[in-house]
Amino acid sequence: MSSGVATDVMSAHTWDHFEPVGMHYPVEDRAAAYENRAAPKKQPVPEVLTDRVSTCMMISPKYIGMSLGELMYFPLRARGEPLRFLLHYAGLSYTMRTVQMSEWAELKPTTPAGGLPVFTPLDEEPMAESPDIAKYIASCADAELDLVPTDGSAEAMYEACNGGALHALCPITNFFPADDATQKLPAAVAEVVKALKAMESQKKGAFFNGAKPHYGEFVLLNCVDMLKLNDADAFASLGPAWEAWYTAMCSLPRMAEYLKSRPKAMSGSVGMPTSRIATMKLEEP
């Protein structure tokens, strides 16, 4: 924390537009506009972006521009997290609406499929399936990023990682009560490691898409990230090739900034209240 920034200021989170030191893009808090009230005065800027608690924020990873659309999701690192990864890597401005469980019962009937995430592109109908949302975001990115290969490998990877064994650690980490999750953890970790080892031969270079990742690799990143979060020795089991891929993914443009800025375990801003990520020190704050 920067010297001279008081704790009560840090907890207020009343910035309407700020650019944290060490981050290369601005974040604009649009909560005031959505609630038809005057924008609050800017407060001193912390060195690192603190937990985002505003219900609705305009985020511009690369440069300030028109929002691609609004992403609605719970404060979890589950199906919405790969979409945030993609948006940041692609440098696409978007609006993030964080939905608390206390408002979900009222909001649920208004969503297309009665679930989240939901992405609503500007002036278009809302999209309800995360693989479709991911492909849409990837298609809006600069062509040079090559996020959508023609062989269908990105679609196949996204579908494989969006459920089944590879996805198992997401609910265990974010949803289940910590005691219950801890009991389920060893079997889930073993299944994820087994599934990842079976995929290793599909790599075509530094990434599964060759020199650059395709959009399916961002949902895979969340699966590996959940494994690393729950098992400190994960790469000892997976091997150096997986560690190199994970490091390369986390080092992509704007990814390091996002990973550093997102709410951390035990912060009170991620995970269900009794979950592992909400109640256990799974990572450094």
Whether the predicted pLDDT of 116 surpasses 60? yes
User: Percent of the chain beyond pLDDT 70?
Assistant: 81
pLDDT in tens, 182-239: 999 999 999 999 999 999 999 999 999 999 999 999 999 999 999 999 999 999 999 9
Mean pLDDT of the residues in the chain: 85
| The pLDDT of residue 126 is above 90 | yes
pLDDT band at 35 (very low <50, low <70, confident <90, very high): low
Model pTM score:
0.82
Spatial CB neighbours of 24, under 8 Å, sequence gap ≥ 6: 254, 257
Rounded to an integer, what distance in angstroms lies between the CA atom of residue 277 and that of residue 230?
Answer: 9
Domains defined for the chain, CATH in brackets: 7-145 (3.40.30.10), 153-255 (1.20.1050)
Do residues 117 and 174 touch, judged by C-beta distance below 8 A?
no
Q: Given pLDDT bands bounded at 50, 70 and 90, which one contains residue 40? A: low
pLDDT at 36: 67
Tell me which residue of 195, 173, 194 sits closest to 184, measured CA to CA.
Answer: 173
pLDDT for residue 135 is more than 90: yes
Q: Write out the E strands in 87-175.
A: 94-98, 118-121
What is the dihedral sign for C-alpha 263, 50, 247, 138?
positive
What crossing angle do the helices spanning 216-230 and 240-250 adopt, rounded to 10°? 110
Local structure of 18: helix, strand or coil: strand
Task: Report the interhelical angle of 216-230 vs 130-140 (nearest 10°).
Answer: 120
- pLDDT the model gives residue 88: 96
Identity of the amino acid at 69: G
